Structure 1
């Protein structure tokens, strides 16, 4: 279990008891301490989390959800255990990818068990904040861990939204500027990442609303204003994501329209070039045809023995070419 347990400690009287304890001692301390025990797991298997579930009496259905990642954000209450799933988000700017991880929290009267899947430093920052002491939040017990975790997750949403906004502004400048490249692939990729982002944020509003309304056992009314603030930030993040999604759709349509216009212009130019080439080819065909006839070396041909026959033929060739040229000019082919 050691590689799976990120940390395991006891918090009493507003600060952490010095040192890290074993899982067995943590289960005993949860029944005897006036504070709470926090056990943090990272990418556990079903066998790993089963040991913790037996030690703390975690509900089997919630344990299944915690083992199998890719859950929607949600909040469930099982007797005296509160189970919540959060989806931290990290925007990788140089790749324009939204990296979504997952955190499951089990909150009992005197314990917190967290399960992390993927890359996220949220729980590490929350633990570091509580370990430093001096914060009145520690005295509120497990709900302090839930509040700070939810707060940092939502703050991460706002940071990711800021970075995505900058990329969207850049794409807009390129699409509506002088850049002639096709940006559809980049826009579609970013739109897909925003959709993944939306799936992590939108379902979180309802659980946070329940926490803000004080409808969850073990979360007293004193904690409601804290969760109400987190809920407001989550709603703003949801609105911003919806706006980004609509904006990307509009920019994608504009980019496709510009590509269509450019292709139409190219087709028109190509058509004009083909008409011009065809016109000159038709003009060149006249002297070629006449010269070809007189190059067949027959003995009896018009003007073949005439003194001025050569000049007459040249005049005929020039006249035909001039007539064709005037006709093509009148038709705007030249």
Structure 2
């Protein structure tokens, strides 16, 4: 469905077209551009947009099917950028991602949103309050969406850092009973980081190209060369995000290793305790077994104090074993 359709001239929104097919012509006639926002459109709904703006069929296929990696494609009549905004859900401490596809031309911007992790309405309102920025044309819209997406990455990375600190406290807590499901939480947390990396990691190359850095030379077509410093700033923020995510991934792996090591130590302690109790139980069992074989010729068989003596020997041996195991930390 079409969420919004507006024509912008010199940074200000003018009266929208009555028919979508006239939007591009009116924008060019006014010396501005048109910005159309769609949310999970059907092929039938997107067909008119495709024909009006002459969008490349491969990019259209990606925009309709979604589930794409962040990427930048250059076609004859437009630029196609895929972003994956992320959303942190504090109730479940989970990270989910949506998708935003941006078609950029000389006088138009078409945004296609999938999922709920893409606050494009807020970006549009912010730009409409900054006519100087919006007056830069479609490139300003591309920059604003990329900047908002990456800035939100930083917020989510901060939330994940807080969750990791709580997880570390739980792992290194002396409360054994509270750590029964810790391994499951660590694996779940690692999956959240993986979901985050799928969104932020591949975006580095498209932003490098938009900034005109590295071996790619100038910025791609349909992008104003004066916007290169702005895209470099977004790329710097993304670098911080990726470094933070890499650090979180390493830390959670270390936490998992520490937890497994602690579980192994606890299991060894349990096995030592079981072995100590088994050894203490073996002494009276052995003595009772020997004296229970009912042989006629046995030491002290006819002695009145033989039974108490055997019991006393058992007690003395049990005390000696207990003190020995206690001294070695087995009990």
How far the C-alpha of 1:29 sits from its partner, in A, is 2.1
Greater C-alpha Rg: 1
Q: Does 2:198 align with 1:199?
A: yes
Q: Does 2:282 align with 1:278?
A: yes
Q: What's the secondary structure of 1:140's corresponding residue? A: coil
Segments of 5+ residues of structure 1 without an aligned counterpart are 294-300, 303-310
When structure 1 is superposed on structure 2, of 15-24 and 111-120 the one drifting more is 15-24
The residue that corresponds to 1:147 in the other structure is 143
Q: What's the secondary structure of 1:40's corresponding residue? A: strand
Cα separation, 2, equivalents of 1:314 and 1:161: 80
TM-score normalised per structure 2: 0.87
The residue that corresponds to 1:189 in the other structure is 188
- 1:64 is matched with which residue: 55, 58, 61? 61
The residue that corresponds to 1:268 in the other structure is 272
Segments of 5+ residues of structure 2 without an aligned counterpart are 213-217, 326-331
When structure 1 is superposed on structure 2, of 153-162 and 208-217 the one drifting more is 208-217
User: Contact 1:42–1:116 (CA<8 Å) still a contact in 2?
Assistant: yes
How far the C-alpha of 1:135 sits from its partner, in A, is 3.0
User: Contact 2:6–2:13 (CA<8 Å) still a contact in 1?
Assistant: yes
Cα separation, 1, equivalents of 2:54 and 2:127: 25
CA RMSD, 1 decimal: 2.4
Cα separation, 1, equivalents of 2:237 and 2:131: 22
- 1:318 is matched with which residue: 290, 297, 308? 308
The residue that corresponds to 1:296 in the other structure is none
Kindly report which structure 2 residues correspond to 1:276-315, keeping only aligned pairs within 5 A, or say none: 276-282=280-286, 289=292, 314-315=304-305
Q: Structure 1's 26 and 260: CA in aligned 2 closer, same or farther, altered over 3 A?
A: same
When structure 1 is superposed on structure 2, of 196-205 and 273-282 the one drifting more is 273-282
- 1:40 is matched with which residue: 33, 37, 42? 37
CA deviation map 1:175-225 (0-9, x unaligned): 123232141111111111101110111111111111111421122221111
TM-score normalised per structure 1: 0.86
- 1:220 is matched with which residue: 221, 224, 231? 224
Q: Structure 1's 272 and 32: CA in aligned 2 closer, same or farther, altered over 3 A?
A: same
How far the C-alpha of 1:274 sits from its partner, in A, is 2.3
Q: What's the secondary structure of 2:143's corresponding residue? A: helix
Cα separation, 2, equivalents of 1:329 and 1:8: 87
Q: What's the secondary structure of 2:135's corresponding residue? A: helix
The residue that corresponds to 2:257 in the other structure is 253
How far the C-alpha of 1:285 sits from its partner, in A, is 5.7
